[in-house]
Structure 1
Amino acid sequence: MALLSRVTFGIVSAMLMLLALALVAFGALELVAELKKSWREGGNALLTAIGYVVIAIAVFDVAKYFVEEEVIRRPGTLTASEARRSLSKFISTIVIAVFIEGLVIVFQVSKQDVAQMLYPIALLVTAVLIVLGLGVYQRLNVEVERQSARKEQSKSGDDKDEQADVRSRPRST
């Protein structure tokens, strides 16, 4: 079952990477087509292309995360701090993509209809909430790691005391 899971994640990751590449190509082709028609419309096409590239980076990062965590890494070898770092890196990439996408949409909407600013503002607020949630997660996780390390130290200290007691006892013959 583990092999099937790894193969499935590998195939899905490869598909996501190809789709991310297709998004970049589509954005570039659309930009070139718009610039050939009108330089004036090129600015909007440029913002759209940036949006495609940002989404492509986020999709690619999801695929990379799947490959690293589900295909390459052996099950059960992930420590708590490695999991925290990996998840934080993944979420950070997604948040950056959401922030950039929100900013791109703010620029697009502000040129057309300012009354339509609710969606991009909601997108930016969502990104801020994700960052705050990640901060809380980091803080709580680090505290748990510290408590766990203290327990391990006190446990190993108790074991050393017991070993010292055993060595200091006189041997009976």
Structure 2
Amino acid sequence: MKRTSAAYHLFSRVIYALASIALTLISIAMIVVAGLDVWDSARAGEPLTHSMLDGIGLVVVSLAVLDVAKYLMEEEVLRDRELRSATEARKTLTKFLVIIIIALTLEALVFVFKAGSEDLTLLIYPAALLAMISLMVVALAFYMRISSKTEKQLGDDDVSLPES
């Protein structure tokens, strides 16, 4: 049973490493595509405003993808950590959600500039996205407050996660 568990653990780490490498390569490709799109627009003599905003959006998404790849590599492959305590789980979840919130916020700002330059009636969509992001921040803050308060009351050792 121990050997099967060790083999599965190694298999999981390899899969996480491959996923991280694939995400990194996709992120780099997205940055290259963004640059090529701006270059093509410049060569064609088109206004650069739209291609640059599209490029910014693509680079922002690629950075979020790169952050997820980095997180997978650090947490699941290199450190080989398992979440054994509620504090560790809270920190990991917080780190991941902050990456998502930052990426969404940057993308919403790009949408604001795009809508502002194209059609002001389109500003409702990035405004709604920013409102949802604000709710995510409030929900994350609430989660952090509740979980850290519980950890302090019970002591982190008493709030261990079940063994899998």
TM-score, normalised via structure 2 length: 0.82
Distance 1:78 1:22 in 2: 36
Q: For 1:29-50, what per-residue CA distance to the aligned partner results, in whole angstroms no more than 9, with x for missing partners?
A: 11111122236x2111111111
How many angstroms apart in 2 are the aligned matches of 1:25 and 1:76?
Answer: 35
Residue 20 in 1 paired to residue 16 in 2?
no
Query: 2:53 aligns to what?
Result: 47
Aligned-partner Cα distance in 2 for 1:65–1:124 = 25
Q: Which runs of 5+ in 2 are unaligned?
A: 1-7, 159-164
How big is each residue's C-alpha offset from its partner over 1:135-172, in whole Å with a ceiling of 9 and x where there is no partner?
011101110110122997xxxxxxxxxxxxxxxxxxxx
Structure 2 Cα separation of the partners of residues 93 and 17 of structure 1: 15
Rounded to whole Å, the distance in 1 between the matches of 2:157 and 2:50 is 57
Say which one has the larger Rg: 1
Shift of the 150–16 alpha-carbon distance from structure 1 to 2, 3 Å rule, reads closer
2:67 to 52, 61, 65: 61
CA RMSD of aligned residues (A): 2.1
Which sections of structure 1, spanning at least 5 residues, go unmatched? 153-173
Residue correspondences, number: 151
Change (3 A) 1:74 1:148: farther
- Give CA-to-partner distance per residue, 1:85-143, whole Å, 9 cap, x none: 33222211211111110111111112212222332222211211111111011101110
Larger mean CA deviation between 52-61 and 141-150 belongs to: 141-150
Out of 104, 109, 114, the position equivalent to 1:98 is 104
- Where relative contact order (Cα < 8 A, 6+ residues apart) is larger, the structure is 2
Which residues of 2 match residues 119-134 of structure 1 at below 5 A? 119-134=125-140
Task: After TM superposition, give the deviation of residue 68 of structure 1 in Å.
Answer: 1.9
Q: Which runs of 4+ in 1 moved over 4 A?
A: none
Structure 2 residue aligned with 1:88, among 80, 85, 94? 94
| Conserved? CA contact 2:56–2:110, under 8 Å | yes
Q: 8 Å contact 2:85–2:156 — kept in the other structure?
A: no
Q: Which whole-Å CA distance do the structure 1 matches of 2:23 and 2:41 have between them?
A: 27
Identity %: 36
- Aligned positions of 1:140-159 closer than 5 A: 140-149=146-155
Describe the SS at the equivalent of 1:91: helix
Q: 1:118 to 1:77 in 2, by over 3 A?
A: closer
Report the secondary structure of 2:155's partner residue.
helix
Contact 2:60 2:106 in 1 (8 A): yes
Q: Distance in 1 between matches of 2:83 and 2:150?
A: 19
